[in-house]
Amino acid sequence: MPFLAQWWDLRDLGNPVGHFLQFLNDHGPDWLPYVASALIGCVAVVLFLVPSQMVIVWAERRLIGRIQARRGPNRTGPWGIFQTIADTIKLLAKEAITSRYVDRWVFWLAPIFIFVPGITVFAVLPFGEHMVLADLNVGVLFLAAVGSVNAIIVFMAGWSSNNKYALLGAMREVSMLISYEIPQVLTLLGAVVFTNTMSLSGVVHWQDHYNTWLIFLQPLALVIYFISASVEINRSPTDIAEAESEIVAGYHTEYSGIKFGFFYAGEYFAGFAIAAVVTALYLGGWTFWGLEEWVPGWIIFLAKLYPIFWLFIWARGTLPRLRVDQLMAFSWKFLLPLTLVNIFVVGLEVLIWQENDLSAGAVLPACAIINLALAVGLTVAWARFLGHARADLRPRRALLMKEVGAIVYGQEP
């Protein structure tokens, strides 16, 4: 066991757990600490996720209400704080209507498996220095691998429903997930190349060691990762698979009651996972330039995680939805070249740094400035090259005419 502080040092919750496991190790069979640590880790993850989800669902509804110039839930308890509990009870009490022609086993298993990627990813996420369930040294690879299981689960749900709308939703979802895997993985790779480690707590330590956050060094990668991840978890403005106004509810049309509740909750768990990955990789994890001496690291981590989720909520409340082929074109034509250039530039920078053995104090600011300029310049230039700034795509107003009778169809204003 690595060096631990006192067991009552709650700045890192790994301390009491570590001391407990040490106690078990001394007084029990050999396998007991491993089993105990696994159990404690799982329970801790679930204890974090479920209350967070309940609070965040309420917060999202109130925040979206605020964006829409109305109050959110305000009847169930003061400021509506029991709304999620009320919704859960309602979903549990609803009749679970199952059509006769569904594929029984797949239909029943899909909402259970929807939690698998969302929760499993938390095994490698570091909430504090010793608060990682499994500090794999290929943590980023684990993230990418487990995250793509989502596609199969969604397709299971859509296919087994025996419903054309659900199938349309599932097909759209799978095509989108495949499209956005590559930018997602490549941007994660950018962080890995820079920090020379795939372990997430290793990346956090690197950021702590060099006193900087990766967001300053890789803004483009962060933005692209955020967009790709938002698509992966079906968050608006990219919630095509469950686009309510078009195909009713997409792949979860046929699910009612608590099964639908599972899909709904699973989306939030995945959202937390993404926000936690962004926090750990790009925002310095549990470190805050020395503040972690006084404030517990996991509180700093959560304080960074929830504002990232606020960005998801903000995008949902403001932006309309893209069409599925536009979304895929965005990924393949726009994001993919940008991520490739990003990897190339990052690799070059790291190479120059290592080969010439320069000091970090000189290299890192230079990298930050170069990468920021690259991010802005490349995005604008590539957009123009692809034709996104065409004249006929610019916003216009209607022509005002005083007399009737003229036909101006086809004339440019």
Partner 1 sequence: MSRALTGTEVEERIGRGFPGAVVEANEQWVTVAAEQLVAVATHLRDDPELDFRYLVSVCGVDRLDHFELVYQLQSLSRNHITTLKTRAPDHKDPQVPSLVPVWVGAQLQEREVYDLMGIRFEGHPDLRRIFLWDGFPGHPLRKDWLGMPGGRHAGLGKFPRED
Partner 2 sequence: MKTEPFVVNVGPQHPSTHGVFRLRVTLDGERIVDADMIVGYLHRSMEKLAESRTYTQNIPFTDRVDYLAAMANNLAYCMAVERLTGIEVPPRGQFLRVIMAELQRLANHAMAIGAFLNDCGAFYTPFQWMFRERERILDLFEMAGGARLTVNYMRIGGVSYDIPPEFMPAAQALVKEMPQRISEYEALLLENEILIARTRNTGVLSADLAIASSVSGPVLRGSGVAWDIRKADPYCVYDQLDFDIPVGTRGDCYDRFIVRMEELRQSVRILEQALDMLPGGPASVPVPLALRPPPGEVYARIEAPKGELGFYVVSDGSPHPYRWHIRAPSFINLTPLTDMVRGLTLADAIITLGSIDITLGEVDR
Q: Which stretch binds partner 1 (CB under 8 A): 103-111, 154-162, 204-212, 401-409?
A: 401-409
408 lies in the site for partner 1, by CB under 8 A: no
70 lies in the site for partner 2, by CB under 8 A: yes
Q: How many residues bind partner 1 (CB under 8 A)?
A: 3
Backbone angles phi, psi at 240, to 5 degrees: -65, -35
Cα–Cα dist 220/152, whole Å: 29
Distances (CA, A) of 72 to 75, 78, 86: 9, 12, 14
399 lies in the site for partner 1, by CB under 8 A: no
Q: How far is the CB of 411 from partner 1 (least distance, A)?
A: 17
Q: How many residues bind partner 2 (CB under 8 A)?
A: 51
Distances (CA, A) of 288 to 8, 27, 149, 201, 221: 22, 38, 33, 14, 21
Q: Which does 325 bind (CB under 5 to 8 A by kind): partner 2, partner 1, none?
A: partner 2
- What binding mask, one character per residue, do residues 209-238 give for partner 2 by CB under 8 A, x or -? ---------------------------xx-
Q: How far is the CB of 409 from partner 1 (least distance, A)?
A: 12
Radius of gyration for the alpha carbons in the chain, expressed in angstroms and rounded: 24
Touching partner 2, residues 167-196 (CB under 8 A): 168
205 lies in the site for partner 2, by CB under 8 A: no
Cα–Cα dist 305/79, whole Å: 23
Cα–Cα dist 378/227, whole Å: 17
Cα–Cα dist 324/217, whole Å: 32
Q: Which stretch binds partner 2 (CB under 8 A): 77-85, 217-225, 239-247, 349-357?
A: 239-247
356 lies in the site for partner 2, by CB under 8 A: no
Q: Which does 93 bind (CB under 5 to 8 A by kind): partner 2, partner 1, none?
A: none
410 lies in the site for partner 1, by CB under 8 A: no
- What binding mask, one character per residue, do residues 318-357 give for partner 1 by CB under 8 A, x or -? ----------------------------------------
Residue 398 or 407: the one with the smaller Cβ distance to partner 1 is 407
30 lies in the site for partner 2, by CB under 8 A: no
Task: Tell which one of 93, 391, 399, 404 touches partner 1 (CB under 8 A).
Answer: 404
Touching partner 2, residues 146-165 (CB under 8 A): 164-165
Own/partner pairs, 41-45, CB within 8 angstroms, 24+ separation: 41/123, 41/133, 41/134, 42/133, 44/13, 44/133, 45/119, 45/122, 45/123, 45/133
Cα–Cα dist 188/282, whole Å: 10
Q: Which does 146 bind (CB under 5 to 8 A by kind): partner 2, partner 1, none?
A: none
Q: Which amino acid is at 157?
A: A
Distances (CA, A) of 307 to 148, 253, 265, 289, 413: 25, 31, 19, 19, 43
Residue 151's Cβ-side half-sphere holds a number of Cα atoms within 13 Å equal to 19
Q: Which of 147, 112, 134 is nearest to 277 (CA)?
A: 147
Task: Tell which one of 42, 63, 136, 248 touches partner 2 (CB under 8 A).
Answer: 248
Residue 209 or 396: the one with the smaller Cβ distance to partner 2 is 396
Task: Tell which one of 182, 321, 332, 350 touches partner 2 (CB under 8 A).
Answer: 321
Q: Which stretch binds partner 1 (CB under 8 A): 148-156, 232-240, 248-256, 403-411?
A: 403-411
Place of tokens 């960074």: 304
DSSP string, 89-141: HHHHHS-----TTS-HHHHHHHHHHTHHHHHHGGGG--SSTT--S---TTHHH
Chain contacts with partner 2 (rule: CB under 8 A): 64, 67-70, 164-165, 168, 236-237, 239, 243-248, 316-326, 388, 392-413
Chain contacts with partner 1 (rule: CB under 8 A): 404-405, 407
